[in-house]
A and B are shown apart, each in its own frame.
Chain A
Amino acid sequence: MTAGLTLQGVQYRHGMKMILHDVDLTITPGKIIGLLGENGAGKTTLMRLITGSAKGKGTIAINDATVVGDRKQHVSFTEQLRGFARETRVEQVVNFYHDVYGDFDSQRYQDMATFLQIDGSLKLSSLSKGMKEKLIIALTLSRRTDLYLLDEPFSGIDSMSRKRIINSILQWKPDDAIMVISDHYVSEVAAILDEIVVVKDQTIFTHEATDAIREKYDVGIEAYYESLYEKGNDYD
């Protein structure tokens, strides 16, 4: 049995255009991964391929589950709740999660909702962008599963709340679970990342441990990441 997340020879085209190719990636359990790349690099697509929301070629396994139906049991993804009508109340969304996900922990959700000050009686249409993102984070992390995919989870959230959430992620993540965070705020999440994966030139450009980067190149994660887009960088 191979624990963790494994992608082998993953390829994805959309409208005859190659989006990702030759994606090989192995992530061991317990790690927090920063998925970095420019807008349109394919970060969200990579997450969608893992969940089965996008259909590509190659093999994707989460704790040995390769079939999409089985894989979904092992992954919790920050989806944008578009399947709900605008007048749906937050508590109805929570009930939905409770009904369809056997691993949904209601107590854990309540704790997070209290921490993030989410009002269950509000309608989705009345939530601000930041509050909606907080709700999505709480719902995603309230499942007790093996892989959490957070796709730009902090966009729209004010900087104070963002820092509080990032600092609390470690306590919310089960020890042996993998968490993949795609975000533009590299400097803020860098402190909690174990590894970074950079998507560039339609493939995995680099996959390195954050400690190794700091030790090897003597720079911060943000500086290292930005240098990958500068001509003649020293870290190739």
Chain B
Amino acid sequence: MTSFGRIFKVLTRSKFREANLLLLIQLIAIAVSLVWILITGALSTTSLLQAVSSWAGVTYVVGFYLIARRSEQAYTQDTFRLIPVEETWLYLGNLLSSFVMFFYIMGVEVLLHLAGIGIGWQALRKDLGIHPVDMGPNTPWDIIKIVMLVALLVLIVIVLMWTTITFVHLVVSATSNFLPSASKRLVNFVLYIVVIFLVVRVAAFLIVLFSRVTSSLPTSGGIMDLWWPIGGMVLVIVIESVASVFLLKKWVETVPN
């Protein structure tokens, strides 16, 4: 059997290549933006930060799409499904590689932002009037806990997005094997409606959650309420993962040659 390490390696490699291409395109876009700013005579020490911030959103969205596309191919292409490995390891290796690649993109974005902040630090201090943060009654440890909890929440939300995309894809793929064309279209239509409804509901829930986190930042007591939604999302991730592996084992076929 092929080891988990090797599965992870090959699944990451193709995503890594695409992620690097995307980041290269972003760097070119930033360079072009800076040249344009120079031509218009508005170049300043904060221009790099502005250019990086402008393109970061596009990079995240495109990066998420590219990784999701590559990730889902692993479930329906013989190139990956013929590898002698249990479906559970294929699923976990794929999920982990998607996650690592998205964090790689996030890491590069953070570095680009830090470079932009570093170059424009004096101007930023002056413009924003940066001074020591008033932490109120909280100790630095409280603040660290809050930051870590919010980071964990973001991490869980990203994993939930991957597992949900995969689950929906596998349900559509599995139903298409045994339903006639007309029924397939109906099932897909119903599924898309359910997914859109769920995405809107979850997004609304997360917006409320983040606004609550933001408003409770000065006091760390209220933020501990986050553990419940985090637990709920972890439960959904586990259920979706178990269901996806089951679908892979029983019903999901590859695209024929």
> Could you tell me if B82 and A53 are in contact, using CB atoms closer than 8 angstroms?
yes
In the complex, B78 has a CB within 8 A of chain A = yes
Q: B6, B18, B178, B257: which contacts A14 (Cβ < 8 A)?
A: B178
List, in ascending order, chain A residues with CB within 8 A of B179's CB: 15-16
How many chain B residues touch A (Cβ–Cβ < 8 Å)?
39
Classify the secondary structure of B's interface with A: helix
How many chain A residues touch B (Cβ–Cβ < 8 Å)?
33
> Could you tell me if A79 and B1 are in contact, using CB atoms closer than 8 angstroms?
no
> Could you tell me if A73 and B84 are in contact, using CB atoms closer than 8 angstroms?
yes
Contact with A along B1-32 (1 / 0, CB 8 A): 11000110110011001100000000000000
List, in ascending order, chain B residues with CB within 8 A of A82's CB: 77-79, 255
In the complex, A6 has a CB within 8 A of chain B = no
> Could you tell me if B82 and A77 are in contact, using CB atoms closer than 8 angstroms?
yes
CB distance from B169 to the nearest CB of A (A): 15
List, in ascending order, chain A residues with CB within 8 A of B257's CB: 44, 78-80, 151
Q: CA–CA, A48 to B87, complex, Å? A: 17
Q: B1, B82, B86: which contacts A51 (Cβ < 8 A)?
A: B82
> Nearest CB to that of A49 among chain B residues?
B253
CB distance from A148 to the nearest CB of B (A): 13
In the complex, B81 has a CB within 8 A of chain A = yes
In the complex, A123 has a CB within 8 A of chain B = no
CB distance from A143 to the nearest CB of B (A): 10
> Nearest CB to that of A79 among chain B residues?
B78
In the complex, B254 has a CB within 8 A of chain A = yes
> Could you tell me if A72 and B84 are in contact, using CB atoms closer than 8 angstroms?
yes
In the complex, A81 has a CB within 8 A of chain B = yes
> Could you tell me if B253 and A83 are in contact, using CB atoms closer than 8 angstroms?
no
List, in ascending order, chain A residues with CB within 8 A of B6's CB: 99-100
Q: What are 9 A-B interface contacts by the 8 Å CB criterion?
A: A53-B82, A55-B252, A68-B249, A72-B84, A73-B84, A82-B78, A83-B73, A83-B77, A88-B14
Interface positions of B (Cβ within 8 A of A): 1-2, 6-7, 9-10, 13-14, 17-18, 73-74, 77-87, 176-181, 184, 249-257
